[in-house]
Amino acid sequence: MNNLKKKFNEFDLNWRRQFADGLKTDLLRKSAIKHAYWMDHEVLRQFYHNDYEIDKNVFRSNQPSPRRIKFWGEKGIKTIINFRGKTNQGAYFLEKDACKKNNINLINFRLFATKLPPKEALIELEALFKSIKVPFLMHCKSGSDRAGLGAALYFIYILNAPIEVAQKQLSLRYLHLGGWTAGILDFMLMQYRLAFHATGIKFKDWLVNEYEIDDLTKGFSAYRKTHHIFKIPR
């Protein structure tokens, strides 16, 4: 099984290497479409976009295809935040080209589904949200974990929403399954929630003074060992 997985990963890596210099030919574009379809689950995204308007003219979704980017452009979207960051995926190069074609500003801002981002990135995201004019779209691969964290932070930073309200952006409604490793995002927000109710500390102050990736990661691991199903109280 491990050998088969290794061969599959090598196959995928070699496929992605084709796109290193962009999609300069029709053949490369067709290859990127196939890669997105079969290797990046676009086959599933054909049927479900996981898109929601979380505030007036602020949207979240899963990875948009070129056709969906055209649709978003027609809806007036001028900026897309890609929480997957710049990658070597066929889907990324298709998105990059589609945004250029539709006069949409693509911002690559990397978050993670299964580990915590540096505090500097979380702080930087506030400035990014405040600098972007609506309407805009934020997305990750499935629209559940990284897009959920981004949406939760938008609620905190821009809407000044209570943490309990922000946490709902990471929920089953958006296909976020906290019982898996992405539950670390829930855990992080819950630790802030507990700190806020104990001391009234503001989120940004909590990030600056109390947010420690190693401590939170160890705390999450310990929590999972004592709970068969990871659930965040709502």
Name the pairing type of β-strands 79-82 and 136-139.
parallel
C-alpha 92/C-alpha 227 separation (Å) is 37
Per residue in 123-169, pLDDT (tens digit) is: 999 999 999 989 999 999 999 999 999 999 999 999 999 999 999 99
pLDDT score for 228:
53
- Domains in the chain, CATH or no CATH each: 2-177 (3.90.190.10)
Answering whether pTM is above 0.85, one says: yes
Per residue in 186-234, pLDDT (tens digit) is: 999 999 999 999 999 999 999 999 999 999 999 999 998 887 544 444 4
Per residue in 40-66, pLDDT (tens digit) is: 999 999 999 999 999 999 999 999 999
DSSP string computed for the chain:
-HHHHHHHHHHHHHHHHTTTT---SHHHHHHHHHHHHHHS-HHHHTT----EEEETTEEEESPPPHHHHHHHHHTT--EEEETT-S-S-HHHHHHHHHHHHTT-EEEE----SSSPPPHHHHHHHHHHHHHPPSSEEEE-SSSSSHHHHHHHHHHHHTS---HHHHGGGSSGGGT--TTSTTHHHHHHHHHHHHHHHHH---HHHHHHHH--HHHHHHHHHHHHHH-SS-----
What are phi and psi for residue 205, nearest 5 degrees? -65, -35
Structure tokens at 164: 């309990």
Structure tokens at 5: 């997985």
Q: How many CB atoms lie within 10 A of CB 164?
A: 13
